[in-house]
Structure 1
Amino acid sequence: MTSPPEQASQARPDARIHDIGYRRYGGDRLGSLYARRSLFVHSLRGAYGIGRSARSKILPFVLFGVMAAPAVVMVAVAVSTGLDELPVEYTSYGLFMQPIFGLYLALAAPQMVSLDLRYKTIPLYFSRPITHTDYVVAKVAALTSALFLFVAVPVTIAYAGGLLAKLGFVDQTTAYARGLVATAVFALLHAVIAVLTASFTPRRGFGVAAIIAVFTVPYFAVTAVQAVATEQGNPDVVGWLGLFSPGSLLDGLQSAFLGGESNFPDQVEVTGAAGPAYLLVTGAIIVVCYALVQRRYRNVGL
């Protein structure tokens, strides 16, 4: 009695194996660190449309140009008129340009996160030497870096203008360093919230709308209630109300710890126990949102 392989050879005497060119990979195995770095670079480039079509680059760079335009104008005015100080502080530049910053954030976060869900590419990432944690870290770090550059470059332009206008090297450098710290916290807080929001929808349009709502609605609600509290003669309440939206949270933080001026109604300052509360709430939001993103991606690609 013949075995199955022998039967197959008798049934197909002309059967043969063709060499179609597949070969084993003989290069270096670069490991998970290289995979994480590649995902970070790819995501950061995508936030500005680099590596994509020309149409994808238009809106990010237009928004970046609008974001940098006030800094260029401040430089020109400071140099030509001899101002004693710049009109906008380094620590509050991101807050001053918050509408443009919000538009860019709503554009970048869904492109970085939602499209992976829509086209089901996440299992492909996890088939490489990369874990769910690596994916989340790379995405949050890439969006934070993109947002930091979006604000820090105009702040750097303003700093260069301050030096050209001879406003004082020590004072300008100290204020510039505080501005970079404020920008880093500003970028990280918005990045973790935006990644968490965008991770719940595979639709880019829904992600854009959700991110705008998450940042805009609380900000205007807090601003309105602060104005009412100021009119009623309760300035102490104004500082505490700022804890309830990301935009006002950063405003209170930079005025309490980084020497900036408050943009609250009547420029009410954050004093007393409210100052440490801003620091604690900011850190808590970052930690909680990051933990929720990790939980979200634990089974999302399976």
Structure 2
Amino acid sequence: MAVEHPVTTRPGDQTRIHNIGYRSYDGPRLGRGYARRSLYSQSLRGAYGLGRSVKSKVLPMLLFAVMCVPAAIMVAVAVATKAPELPVSYTRYAIIMQAVISLYVASQAPQSVSRDLRFKTVPLYFSRPIETADYVQAKFAALASAMFILTGGPLLVMYVGSLLAKMGFAHQTGKFAQGLVAVALLSLLFAGLGLVIASVTPRRGFGIAAVIAVLTISYGAVSTLQAIADAQDSTGAVPWIGLFSPVTLIDGVQSAFLGGTSSYPGGVGPTHGQGMVFVLVVLGLIAACYGLLLRRYRKVGL
């Protein structure tokens, strides 16, 4: 608190001497855990434009609506026709909507980290009781949580709709749980890749373009190679080619272990043995993204 001590001056003399003193803060210190949780909460809210301008809310909220509307339509049709099953499985839905998911992570990953780099606010975070790992964990967890809301929300709509349509409770609950595991892996993988790419440049526009390019080009190239391999009767190579794209990686994991139907050409998904390789690659990529972010922000914080 500043304390002012005015000095008596002669009449007409406008000179003043101010003795500015500061008292040390002696209140409660909440520590690293509180700072980390606050950064996580702020970043998660920012991923949907909460606490920001109306313009910042438009795109994430629109993409969330685009993700949920088809699920709501499917539920309405299933209820009206008394269908015994939903037309699209829980594990299949995110693969079908992968373009919307890619657009979301491309728009929000740079918003999460590029602005801090551009305006050089990262060292200010580290001037508080927060370390590089705290910053990376908070940002990673926030974007992954935001993506889980984006991808899990439609599955919840489908699950509630299936119960309203009086489909089997145990069957639908099991499939819903498998779908949540699949989108959780997808959220972690996409969030990690998006943040690593976005952290390279302080320019948000460049970050958006780079994330879209990596996700869409890799998916297009892998799908093309798989189609060529299938056309040449090299069906054994089709699953292995799926290792080189984030979308096909998740597709391979869920078709091998989570009861999903593969979108690979010919419907040839990986076997359980191949699926173990897919799981290891997914977990390895998530860990590698975390490690690369730690390395990147150790340099930024200097």
Q: TM-score range by the shorter chain?
A: over 0.9
Taking only the aligned residue pairs, the percentage that are identical comes to: 55
AA aligned opposite 1:295: R
Cα distance, 1:17 vs structure 2: 4.0
- Residues 108-135 of structure 1, C-alpha deviation per residue, up to 9 Å, x if partnerless? 1000010100011101100110000100
Instruction: Determine the C-alpha separation between the residues in 1 that align with 2:299 and 2:247.
Output: 32
Instruction: Determine the C-alpha separation between the residues in 2 that align with 1:269 and 1:200.
Output: 34
CA contact (8 A) 1:120 1:301 kept: no
What is the Cα-based RMSD across aligned positions, in Å?
Answer: 1.4
Cα distance, 1:19 vs structure 2: 4.9
- In the alignment, is residue 233 of structure 1 matched against residue 251 of structure 2? no
Aligned to 1:45: 45
Instruction: Determine the C-alpha separation between the residues in 1 that align with 2:153 and 2:275.
Output: 28
Aligned to 1:271: 271
Instruction: Determine the C-alpha separation between the residues in 1 that align with 2:92 and 2:41.
Output: 28
Aligned to 1:67: 67
Aligned to 1:201: 201
Instruction: Determine the C-alpha separation between the residues in 2 that align with 1:23 and 1:90.
Output: 59
AA aligned opposite 1:294: L
Instruction: Determine the C-alpha separation between the residues in 2 that align with 1:225 and 1:233.
Output: 12
CA contact (8 A) 2:147 2:187 kept: yes
Instruction: Determine the C-alpha separation between the residues in 2 that align with 1:181 and 1:202.
Output: 33
Aligned to 2:127: 127
AA aligned opposite 1:164: L
Which stretches of structure 1, 4 residues or more, deviate above 6 A after TM superposition?
none
Cα distance, 1:273 vs structure 2: 3.1
- Count, aligned residues: 288
Aligned to 1:163: 163
Instruction: Determine the C-alpha separation between the residues in 2 that align with 1:102 and 1:208.
Output: 10
AA aligned opposite 2:270: V
SS across alignment from 2:19: coil
Deviates more, 1:79-88 or 1:139-148: 79-88
Instruction: Determine the C-alpha separation between the residues in 1 that align with 2:298 and 2:259.
Output: 41
Instruction: Determine the C-alpha separation between the residues in 2 that align with 1:260 and 1:65.
Output: 24
What is the TM-score normalised by the length of structure 2?
Answer: 0.92
Where structure 1 has 5 or more consecutive residues not aligned to the other structure, the ranges are 1-13
Question: 1:110-125 maps to which residues of 2 (within 5 A)?
Answer: 110-125=110-125
Instruction: Determine the C-alpha separation between the residues in 2 that align with 1:208 and 1:301.
Output: 23
Instruction: Determine the C-alpha separation between the residues in 2 that align with 1:243 and 1:19.
Output: 64
AA aligned opposite 1:104: Y
CA contact (8 A) 2:257 2:272 kept: no
AA aligned opposite 1:142: A
Aligned to 2:281: 281
Instruction: Determine the C-alpha separation between the residues in 2 that align with 1:160 and 1:243.
Output: 33
CA contact (8 A) 2:91 2:258 kept: yes
